């Protein structure tokens, strides 16, 4: 367990170090991207400002103005050309699987390489062969044409990125709608489940109530039967004390089946100690359901 915790701590620490290193490497690369074009730009500015007045016979201020424009162009093109190639490569990775035109990465790399070659040629003509500084006008003109091409590539790349952002935005909106629909569906299913649980609980309570009511009715009949048995036992004891152990058979009154069945039930309890519904039906002539009905309701008849 201790080794596992130690490995997790070391892994987290290494991830933090990698993130920290990547962060500072990004800053250093951005700083280098800004500062590196300043070196050839500064050299071009100094060389043009000092050599063009003599070789071209132009005023010094004009030479310095040309040098400043050249240095500024070198700086801006350096920032745009290199970043453009990186943006195109990153764009093509993000655009995989989407219906969007891929960036012409080859043209981006070509623009960056052509920029570096033009700047090196210009610097060599100005510093290594200062007597041929006038020939630096050719790479300077090439820088102007290169600037138009790079800006055109950058504009097209911005349009492609806008299209990709729109597509990704639509996909995110569709995903958000799907998530919202799923959440609504989950809420609906949860509500239905809660309703079903409540309904099942009510059904269970109703069933239990019916069972309890039936049990209460059964107990009530048992109590009534016990009361009848007790009354019959008392009557039998009175007959025994009088010395008459025989009990006359009750009379059958077809107009009053409840009283007749009641009398026969008491007679059976006194003589046999139990109620025989079949025997009562045979002796009275009433049907079994009628006998059963009034035997079960003896308490009411009594």
Please tell me whether residues 6 and 111 are part of one structural domain.
yes
Instruction: Give the pLDDT mean for 142-161.
Output: 84
Mean pLDDT of the chain: 76
Is there a domain that residue 215 lies in?
Answer: no
Per-residue pLDDT at 242: 42
In a domain, 283, yes or no: yes
Per-residue confidence (pLDDT) for residue 250, from 0 to 100 = 78
- Indicate if the pLDDT at residue 241 is higher than 60: no
Average pLDDT over every residue of 196-203 = 82
Same domain as 84, residue 226: no
Q: Is the pLDDT of residue 246 over 60?
A: no
202 domain-assigned: no
What are the CB-based long-range contacts (under 8 Å, 24+) for 298-301?
298/224, 298/225, 298/228, 298/262, 298/265, 299/220, 299/221, 299/223, 299/224, 299/227, 299/228, 301/258, 301/259, 301/261, 301/262
Could you tell me if 38 and 180 lie in one domain? yes
> Is position 211 within any domain?
no
Instruction: Verify that 171 and 30 share a domain, yes or no.
Output: yes
The more confident residue out of 301 and 102 is 102
> Average pLDDT, stretch 12-30?
70
Q: pLDDT per residue over 36-89, tens digit each? A: 666 677 777 777 777 777 777 778 888 788 888 877 777 778 777 878 888 888
Give percent of the chain above pLDDT 70.
80
**Cβ atoms within 10 Å, residue 70:** 25
pTM of the model: 0.48
Name all contacts of 128-135 with Cβ < 8 Å and 24+ positions apart: 130/47, 130/51, 133/47, 133/48, 133/51, 133/52, 133/55, 134/52, 134/55, 134/56
In a domain, 204, yes or no: no
Task: Clarify whether residues 163 and 228 are in a common domain.
Answer: no
**Residue 36 confidence (pLDDT):** 65
72 with 161, same domain: the answer is: yes
Mean pLDDT of 145-160: 85
Say if residue 131 is in the same domain as residue 64.
yes
Same domain, 98 and 41: yes
pLDDT value of residue 104:
85
Supply the range of the domain harboring residue 256: 222-301
Sign of CA dihedral 182, 186, 191, 196: positive
| 48 lies in some domain | yes
Q: Output the CA torsion 216→217→222→227 (10° steps).
A: 100
């Amino acid at each position: 367990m201790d080794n596992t915790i130690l490995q997790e701590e070391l892994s987290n620490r290494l991830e933090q170090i990698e993130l920290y290193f990547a962060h500072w490497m990004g800053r250093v690369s951005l700083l280098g991207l800004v500062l590196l074009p300043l070196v050839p730009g500064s050299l071009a500015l100094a060389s043009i400002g000092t050599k063009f007045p003599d070789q071209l016979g132009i005023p010094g201020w004009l030479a310095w103005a040309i040098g400043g424009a050249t240095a500024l162009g070198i700086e801006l093109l350096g920032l745009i050309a290199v970043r453009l190639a990186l943006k195109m490569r990153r764009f093509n990775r993000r655009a995989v699987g989407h219906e969007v035109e891929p960036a012409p990465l080859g043209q981006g790399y070509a623009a960056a390489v052509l920029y570096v070659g033009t700047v090196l040629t210009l610097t060599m003509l100005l510093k290594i062969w200062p007597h041929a500084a006038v020939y630096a006008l050719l790479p300077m003109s090439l820088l102007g044409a290169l600037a138009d091409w790079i800006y055109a590539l950058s504009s097209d790349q911005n349009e492609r990125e806008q299209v990709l952002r729109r597509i990704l935005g639509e996909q995110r909106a569709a995903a958000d709608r799907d998530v919202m629909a799923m959440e609504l569906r989950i809420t609906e299913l949860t509500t239905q489940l809660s309703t079903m649980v409540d309904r099942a609980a009510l059904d269970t309570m109703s069933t239990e109530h019916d069972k309890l009511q039936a049990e209460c009715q059964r107990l009530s009949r048992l109590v009534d039967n016990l009361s009848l048995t007790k009354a019959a036992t008392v009557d039998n004891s009175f007959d025994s004390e009088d010395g008459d152990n025989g009990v006359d058979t009750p009379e059958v009154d077809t107009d009053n089946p409840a009283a007749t069945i009641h009398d026969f039930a008491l007679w059976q309890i006194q003589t046999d100690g139990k109620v025989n519904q079949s025997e009562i039906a045979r002796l009275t002539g009433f049907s079994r359901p009628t006998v059963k009905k009034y035997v079960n309701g003896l308490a009411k008849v009594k």
